Amino acid sequence: MDSTLRKTLEDSIRNIPDYPKPGIMFRDITTMLGNARAFRRAVDELVHPFIGMGITQVAGIEARGFILGGAMAHQLSCGFIPVRKKGKLPHDKVTIAYSLEYGIDEMEVHTDAVTKGEKVLLVDDLIATGGTAEAAVKLLHKIGADVVAACFVVDLPDLGGAKKIKALGVPVRTLIEYEGD
Ligand code: AMP
């Protein structure tokens, strides 16, 4: 990735110290989404390696992964799968519990969201410990998806999340890294 894009993204992401609790530096991408050029460039860069790879679905993790994933699905001319917090999906679903940087939660996906072997690209705004994305990969595997890759705008490499996803056999694409957490 070129340094101009890195700067565009860094300049557009807002850093909020001690949110949601002391010691956490929150990387707020709402300012990136509100910046037309940064939003477009981030989406273009996230999908770039996957054009022509036969991806048929983008799966986005609630809620910021929905915004990026919808735009990516449009760009790749494929479908979109919402990976949702527990209790939001109306049809038959699979559920998984996972631990977050700040607690424990459950997420769900519809069992018929993919046909077996369908190529899926997973997306969220940020990967920290990787607990959220790991759960999403496992859910997608449970319903028969081939998770081709997982991508994120922001990586916090010191928290080891990307390594956790690669250990599941899923390649990881991230656009910018911040040292520490
Ligand atoms: P994790 O499961 O630890 O990889 O956490 C990833 C999820 O938590 C993503 O959905 C992020 O949006 C959110 N998250 C975790 N840490 C941060 C942070 N420092 N700044 C912004 N979002 C975060």
Q: Would residue 7 count as lying in a domain?
A: no
Task: List, by residue number, the catalytic residues.
Answer: 64, 101
- Helices in 92-147 by DSSP H: which ranges? 131-142
pTM of the model: 0.97
In a domain, 64, yes or no: yes
Q: Which pLDDT tens digit goes with each residue over 7-31? A: 999 999 999 999 989 999 999 999 9
Tokens of 124: 């969220």
32 belongs to a structural domain = no
Angle at 95 between CA 90 and CA 98, to 5 degrees: 135
Please work out whether the CB of residue 127 comes within 6 Å of at least one atom of ligand 1. Answer: yes
Predicted confidence at residue 95, as pLDDT, reads 98
Total tally of structural domains belonging to the chain: 1
Cα atoms in the Cβ-side hemisphere of radius 13 Å centred on 146: 10
CA separation for the pair 38, 10 (Å, rounded): 9
Read off the CATH number of the domain in which 74 is found.
3.40.50.2020
Quick check: is 117 in a domain?
yes
Q: Closest residue (by CA) to atom 17 of ligand 1?
A: 26
Range of the domain at 71: 53-177
Residue 102's pLDDT is: 64
In testing the pocket of ligand 1, which one of 85, 106, 126, 158 has its CB within 8 Å of the most ligand atoms? 126
Task: Confirm whether 127 is domain-assigned.
Answer: yes
- CA dist 124 and 64 (Å) reads 6
The string of pLDDT tens digits covering residues 64-77 is 999 999 999 999 99
Mean pLDDT over each residue of the chain, to the nearest integer: 96
What is the distance between the alpha carbons of residues 106 and 156, in angstroms, rounded to a whole number?
22
Res 101: pLDDT: 60
The reply to whether omega before 20 is within 30° of 0 (cis) is: yes
**Are 81 and 62 a contacting pair, CB within 8 Å?**
no
Does the residue 153 lie in any domain?
A: yes
Question: How many angstroms from the chain centroid is the CA of residue 113?
Answer: 17
Is 11 within a domain? Answer: no
